[in-house]
A and B are shown apart, each in its own frame.
Chain A
Amino acid sequence: MSTILKKNRNLAFPGLLWFLVFFLLPLSVILIYSITERSLISGEPVKFTMANFVQVFQKRHYLIILLRSLRISFFTTVISITFSYPVAYFLAKNTRHDRILIVMLMIPFWINYLIRIFAWKLILSDNGILNQVLMGLHLIDEPLRIMYTQTSVLLGLVYTYTPMMVLPLYASLSRIDDSLIEASLDLGASRFRAFFDITFRLSLTGIFAGTLLVFIPALGSFAIPAILGGTDSVLIGNMIENQFNIVGNWNAGSAFTLSLAALAIILVLSYSRIFGLESIYRNRGI
């Protein structure tokens, strides 16, 4: 066939090679760690075992952390969809200054998110700004205890990742042709129905793309729970970090890591069955 297509094809190989060597190969290495007992470097004979994986789902302590991570990332996603939908809708349909507002929305991303999380610590801590304001107004007598709870972790995650939801939502909403809604109203639908049947349904791809950008980082978050959370808000990310940096058990750590990766992939793939996987890259928001 065309020689142009053949030559173009060769351009893909450096990237594919990189992907193979620096992504798939490392993944296979931790896969080996996760199903063996000792370090591969030690030189001792390798013994295969499933014990690393079994403990993830058997030890009550680990299971609690796993479920907590799922719950918190789920709520982060739901809240961020709720928060950002009206904003995305306004940007897409009700204003002509949408481009500059989108650029403004991107500004916080350039300022490291740890600094932004630190600001939330200033706001939420016992003698923080929120409590100073509320006590100054005599709305409360003693400080609200928000800091170092799951609530503060959730607030931090929502704050950090919500703008990530706005962008793909905005992209999917602004692509909806207004004449579709007019047609639906014309055919006798109420405004409410027209919104649900047309606008909302067509924005589902945006919600899906946004969910990838919110749910997955929230599920694997480490720094936000480490800064804002207390002992009751340890998430999988912190648990994995602990396995590698404190406990030093690479085999168990690898099993945790793979479980987290598999969990994220399975959840997203089953979720994507609703939309079709290609909607991820069809959506220009990301």
Chain B
Amino acid sequence: MRARWEILARPLFGAGLFLLAAPALAHTGDGVAGGFLSGLTHPIFGWDHVLAMVAVGLWGAFLGSPAIWLLPVIFPLVMAFGGALGVLGVPVPAVEAGIAASAVVLGLLVAFASRPPLWVAGVIVGAFAIFHGHAHGTEMPQAANAFAYAIGFVTATGLLHLIGIGFGLTVRWPAGEWAVRAGGGAISMVGLAFLFSVV
């Protein structure tokens, strides 16, 4: 028994040391690799962004075809447009509140199993994508390689949608549907907390 514990303890100790280590922060956004990493991590380090993008995937999966692919196709395109507005310095009002509201609204739509017409779903997702894109565009590091940054940024967004779609596909089972709706409710609650902190 003791030998088995030792076998487990050594890699766990090693993993613990790995987690405790401070990051070297060698990549400051310069160059191709730095630009890609900067773009890839940018959407992931904001929980309100993460929640909303996962919610888009969840809702798409919940609505089924063609929304399952249409919403994650609309979001990056419109988000990039919002990003362009942010980069160019075009002001958009209440960006942070809009991002938090996106998590609240999208989470509620999933929680209540809302099935509006496809064009309405597209307009809702597209409208919120503007806020997300604008925030990312405004905070975009000037030193980043534009091409690599854009690839990383779009890839991260797509992967977050994919996580939502993957979870959302469990709606075909009754337990899965309840889990997805509960997930939507949780996203909405967290979004509400973000909304109160920014308003």
To the question of whether A and B form a pair in one complex, the answer is: no
